[in-house]
Structure 1
Amino acid sequence: MHNQYHSQSEENNRQPAGQYGGHEVFDAHEVLSGVIGILDHYKLYEQHVQDPELKTMINRQSSFLLTTYNTMVETFHTGKRPSTPTLVYNMTQENNVSLGMTPGQPKTPAQSVQELNDENISGFMLGQTKGIASSLTMAALEVTNPVLRRVFADSVPNIIEMGYEIFLYQNKHNYYQVAQLTHEDMNAMVHSYDSTGGNQPH
């Protein structure tokens, strides 16, 4: 009886493998490893963060990413609709962006861990969200299993929202300044394209 149950269990565990191509499995591994990387790094950042607002953001994003990770793993294991669907991440930052540059001290590499500050940490976070957003987008375009593809695709806007939330935090504190072109150059760039005369017939 035990052997029969064991054989059925092994068969069930092997079953989803037939739903995937080799390339998409590698993509899925890259995505899952990337999400683990963010979660692990966020744990490291917590002990160095000074600003309570940034610490709250780390905790909120970590919690959401953990749920997302579990949804991805379940879907990857079964190839079927997960018990917890992909949720929607809602940032708390205001959509206010300060434009222009304020001169500051030149940046240099930190000489010790103690020199790392909230500017460094939020910059690390932004870089990691950009990386995983790219990996998820690529994976969603490569995966053939429709459910896993949808989970990956639906996760992309959430990661983008997280990245934009981090950017807004950085911009608010002058960590990420947005340079502008001259009025003449900006006007020329904005009006470099125009719409066509109408929709082409199919």
Structure 2
Amino acid sequence: MQRNTSPQFNHGAHEILDVHEVLSASIGAMNQYTMLRPIVQDQELLDILDRQYQFMQQEYNTTVDCFHTGQDPAVPTQSYMMQQDNQIIYGLTPSQPKKPIQNETEISDEHISGFMLSCVKSLAALKTYAALEASNPVVRRVLADSVPNCIEMAYEISLYQNKNRFYQVPQLPVTDMQQMKQSYAPATGTTATS
């Protein structure tokens, strides 16, 4: 049995492989944002893209720092603060069916926001999985703390998409919604004993 007490080598094999996936996907997301930036048309989407890119870059550097050293990073994980309001437009309006583009000149802000959303949703899943496999307590905490940031970025993009009718949010009829919401009651009693 090998024991390394140095924080620098306090990583298990699964952690090493999963963090490698997270860091590679983070680079991929930032590269995609960089490639998309010149073709963004809407200034609001460009502001979101720039803000999220800067945040992703710092979070990537924080993860690399603690991964290299096994210790607290020089810059701790921050909290991403979106600038969208929380207003959702519910309901469906008729629209053209979606289909794959045939030419890069067809790429629109709708597509770009969709690419961005896919990136941050993938990062949320990868970081969650990697945090569950991390044996180094600092790396685990940095990964776990970064998951809510991915969720916040995804929500910001989905709000932008919804506001621009790129993403519509259907609702159940009120009676069905009410019945579903009332399908559960608080748990009562004490814990099970053996």
Equivalent residue of 1:47, what SS? helix
Shift of 1:197: 3.1
Counterpart for residue 128 of structure 2: 137
Aligned structure 1 segments of 4 or more residues deviating by more than 6 angstroms: none
So what's the TM-score if we normalise by structure 2? 0.92
CA displacement, residues 108-147 of structure 1 (integer Å, 9 cap, x when unaligned): 2111111010001101111111111011011111101001
CA-CA distance at 1:192 after TM superposition: 1.3
2:19 to 28, 32, 39: 28
Whether contact under 8 Å (1:75, 1:147) holds in the other structure is yes
Note the alpha carbon deviations across 1:123-176, whole angstroms, 9 max, x for none: 111111111101101111110100111110111111111000001100100111
Unaligned runs of 5+ in 1: 1-14
Q: Which runs of 5+ in 2 are unaligned?
A: 1-5
Shift of 1:198: 4.6
Structure showing greater radius of gyration is 1
- Spell out, residue by residue over 1:2-32, the C-alpha distance to the aligned partner (whole angstroms, 9 max, x if none): xxxxxxxxxxxxx655311111100100100
Who is 2:169 aligned against? Answer: 178
Report 1:48-197 matches (<5 A).
48-197=39-188
Amino acid at match of 1:29: H
Q: Is the 8 A contact 2:8 2:71 kept in 1?
A: no
Give the secondary structure class of the aligned counterpart of 1:105.
coil
| Deviating more after overlay: 189-198 vs 63-72 | 189-198
Contact 1:16 1:77 in 2 (8 A): no
Q: Distance in 1 between matches of 2:58 and 2:113?
A: 22
Instruction: Name the aligned partner's letter for residue 126 of structure 1.
Output: L
